[in-house]
Each structure stands twice: as structure tokens, then as C-alpha cells.
Amino acid sequence: MRDYLKFYIDGAWVDPIEAKTADVINPATEAVAGRISLGSAADVDKAVAAARMAFASWSQTTREQRLDLLGAIQAEYAKRQTELGDAIIEEMGAPSSLAHGFHVGLGAGHLQTAIEVLRDFKFDEPHGATVIAREPIGVCALITPWNWPMNQTCVKIFPALATGCTMILKPPQLAPFSAQILAEILHAAGVPAGVFNMIQGSGSVIGTALSTHEDVDMVSFTGSEPVGVQIQKDAAATVKRVALELGGKSPFIVLDDDALAANVAGATAGMMGNSGQTCSAGSRLLVPAARMEEAIAAARTAADGVTVGDPRGNVAMGPVVSRAQYDVIQSYIQKGLDEGAKLIAGGLGRPDGLDKGWFVRPTVFVGTNDMVIAREEIFGPVLVIIGYQDVDHAVEIANDTSFGLAGYANGSDLDQCRAVARRMRTGWISINGGFDFHAPFGGYKRSGNGREWGEYGFHEYLEVKSLLGYGAA
């Protein structure tokens, strides 16, 4: 039982101003795994004041000082990776291999990337007698989701630290444990008082207080489209910068070649990773209509081969994060059936043998792009296979969505994959499994604005200043 009842403000663990708590539920057992305190607007005021005071000195630190701090954080992070993985298993149900592997590894990767970028980042650039300076934007509110807790938290904290900003983190209420450990890591590494602050609580209270706060200069939010829209509205009155990474309904185009079956199987298994709770998941699988039966066979075999169960064991998929999320996913599966989509794997209810925990059956439909299950983000292990006539038709289907976060192009002909990727209206495209910590990540259309990861992630936390005549002789 974890009791995380204090907030981290101004370099110390402090009691909330109002004593109010919430239980955190283990989604695999439905049992209470711990408690957190729920913060208030008064706690936000306290944290923002600390961040504002610390900004005066932290913003003036040198590149070398920030590199030293990031190196110290890296050493502390390495010591506690096992604890972080255990917390992620418990808070959001990720299987052990995934929690201790990619979940924790993403946090470490973003930290290493921040170090690499900071070493050579050009904060000043001369243009004749003018110098273009990039300076920290100020106090940043970082609001993160529950589905990839270390990834989404670290991809904000470390660029903010590296660029000289101060911050207040609002972790997800459903999955708060790993953020608590990360705060302890930052404290042990010697982050100066007030530079990093953390308040637990509900998004409607803490998120709103941060988004509307006069002394917050920037909000970085990852989560759902409706919440992102509300944050933009809340932030408008103070004209603060807002960076949003929102939802997706990402297309995965499998080209017509000898690797089709293997690519379909890989795309299907990949969709089920993290229980489908990934904003960039390739949830629309586009395959040649002429080879639909072959694709169905490969997808069915792959989905049926996904082991589901206790995330502490050797399984590929654990539960989804909560009862509410389970119910939403079940409602979408029912919509797929009602719309006449062809169910080829999975379906309603829990997998056989699991009568407790929010476990969902790895589900695959064959449908059309106008169906609800192909247009709305389900955020669960539900894949829709859609047939295309030719490559032009595949691209047309891929782009026929209000989202534009991610995309995938797999095939043996690399030039054809490249051509398809160029035509997809989305911000991040993986060709044959490509992955890069330095590649900017973010979306077109309703998938958000701004970019994270690598050098582009630094720019979200910087203002641009023109110093005319600075370089005059």
C-alpha cells in the first residue's frame, strides 16, 4: 500500500493546504494500491510562487551547470529503474517486460537525448550585427497522462530543465506512483528548490488552476482532444503558450508485396501493446483489398496469440487502466458489431479465465473508414482492418481523418514506402519500424500543435529575442 500524501514544492515535501485524498486502484486486481492527496488552487498558487522565484536564478545558469544537473539525474534514475517499473505495473497495469523495458527506457532515453541536444544547442545565433537569442520562456505547467507515465513526463521535464525553465508537474490521478518516484530522483540529484514542483490531484482542479494562472507562462499538455481544447480556452485570457499532444487514429499502410502477412501480423501485435492505450497506435490497418483474406488470417493468428493476464507474469498484455476505460472500450466494440463490422478476433467481455481486473480481449474488426470504430479514438486493443484498391486509395483513406498524429508505412520497396510516407498528412511516420529519440513528435489537425522529442522539443520552452546592434563593431 503506497501512501503518497505530500506534494513537492520549493525543494521540500509538504502537506497539502486542504486534507483531501483519493484511492489509486490497481487495474489488474481492482484492489486499492495506494492513496494520494488531491491538491487545490491554493496549492497551485504556492507552487507557482516557488517556481517564479526560482526562475530568476535558474534561467541564468550556464549550459555546463545544466549538463551537470542532468548528469546527476541520470545517475539517480539508473539507481531506481526497477522501482519505477514496479510502480508502472501497479498503477496502470503494464506487463512486467514492458514496464521494466520500454516504459522505463523511454524516460532514460529522453534524459540522454536532452543531454545530447543541450551540449550543442545554439541559444545565440549571430545574423550580421544582430544576435538572435533563445531564452527560457519562464514558469511551465506540465500536465501528463497515465498511459505512458515516464515517457510523457520525462519528455517535458528534461527539455524544460535543459532550457532554463522552472515548472510545476501535474501527474495523472489514475497513475501517480511513478511520478512520485521521479520527484524523489530529482530531489536526490540536487535540483534547486523551486525549479521543479509537483502537485497531485484532479485535472479539473489542478489543470484548470495552472492553465488560468497569471504567473504560468506556458502549458504543455498530453491527453485527450476535449481536454486540450479546454486548456487552450483557459489559457487564452493570459495569452500563454500552449503545446498540445492529443489523440490519434493513425493509419498503418501495409503495401502489396511478399512481406504482407508478416507486416500485418506485426502491426496487429503492435496495436495490442500497452493494451492499445497509445495515442500513436496504428489503429487503422490498411491492406490491399485483393489480399484481404490473407490479411485476415495473419491478423487473427496474431491477435489470438497475444497472451493476456497478470502483468507481473510473462504476458504480452495486461489490463486497461480503469473500469471507466474498460467500459468505453466495450461500448466501442459493441458499436462495431452494431455497425456491421466483421469481427475476426476478440470481442466483448474479458478473456477466458479472467474474472477480475479490467482485461479486454485483443479485438480485430474488418470494416470501412466511415464507421465509428474507424473514426474515433478508442484507446484500447481494438484494430480495424480496411481494404484499399491501390496506393492512391490507401493514402486517401489514411488522410481521411480529423487526426494526424502518427502513421506507418511497411513494405519491401523502400522507395514506395518513402513516397507513401511523404503523402500522409501526419506529424510522425515510422517506415518499416523506424524509431529515433531525436525525431520531433507531434500532430497535424486535431492531434495537437507543437513538437516534443529532441531539439524540436527544446523550442517549445524558449522565447526568441532579437538583439539589434549587439554585434556591431
> So which residues are the catalytic ones?
245
For 98-132, b where at least 16 C-beta lie within 10 A, e where not — what string? bbbebbbebbbbbbebbbebbeebeeeeeeeeebe
H/E stretch holding 30 reads none
Provide the grid cell at 76: 539517480
Q: Which residues contact 18 (CB under 8 A, 6 or more apart)?
A: 40, 42, 43
Q: b/e string for 421-430 if b means 16 or more Cβ within 10 A?
A: beebebbbbb
Task: Tell me how far apart the alpha carbons of residues 407 and 248 are, in angstroms, rounded to a whole number.
Answer: 9
Q: Is the CB of residue 114 less than 8 Å from the CB of residue 159? A: yes
Distance CA 324, CA 302 (A): 27
Closest CA to 409 of 398, 401, 420, 400: 420
HSE (side-chain half, CA atoms, 13 Å) at 96 = 8
HSE-CB of 193 using CA atoms within 13 angstroms = 9
Q: How far is CA 255 from CA 283, 365, 401, 418, 459, in A?
A: 16, 19, 20, 12, 36
Helix segments in 93-165, DSSP class H: 96-98, 104-120, 149-163
Question: Considering only CA atoms, which of 247, 157, 171, 181 is closest in space to residue 203?
Answer: 171
**Measured between alpha carbons, how far is 472 from 469 in angstroms, rounded to an integer?**
5
